[in-house]
Amino acid sequence: MVIDVELTLKGHIKGSLNVPLDEIGKAMSWLIKDVPAVVVCASGSRSEEAVRILKANGFEKVYNGGSWDSLGNIKAGGCPVK
């Protein structure tokens, strides 16, 4: 699963779960701990923080995917294609 912690208005990766960083605590109630997840955002800093929070709460299979650019995501008009 891919979790995009960027604000929706900045775009997101098609097919990802869009969970802004400030809502990651709420999402822990429905995210499944043993499902591997890659967390991404626009720059990589929010994804790093989200991974730290998730791991501190028992999510062991979460990985920082970094920024959209590191994934080769196509952008249009400065925003990622949805």
Residues linked to residue 39 through DSSP beta bridges, in sequence order: 3, 64
What does the pLDDT profile of the chain (82 residues) look like in tens digits?
889 887 766 666 777 888 999 999 999 999 999 999 999 988 889 999 999 999 999 999 999 988 876 666 544 345 555 4
Label the pairing between strands 75-76 and 79-80: antiparallel
Number of C-beta neighbours around residue 3 at 10 A: 24
How far apart CA 34 and CA 21 sit, in angstroms, is 20
Does CATH place domain 2-80 in 3.40.250.10?
yes
Give pTM, 2 decimals: 0.81
* Per-domain residue ranges of the chain: 2-80
Phi and psi angles of residue 7, each rounded to the nearest 5 degrees, phi first: -65, 140
How far apart CA 24 and CA 18 sit, in angstroms, is 10
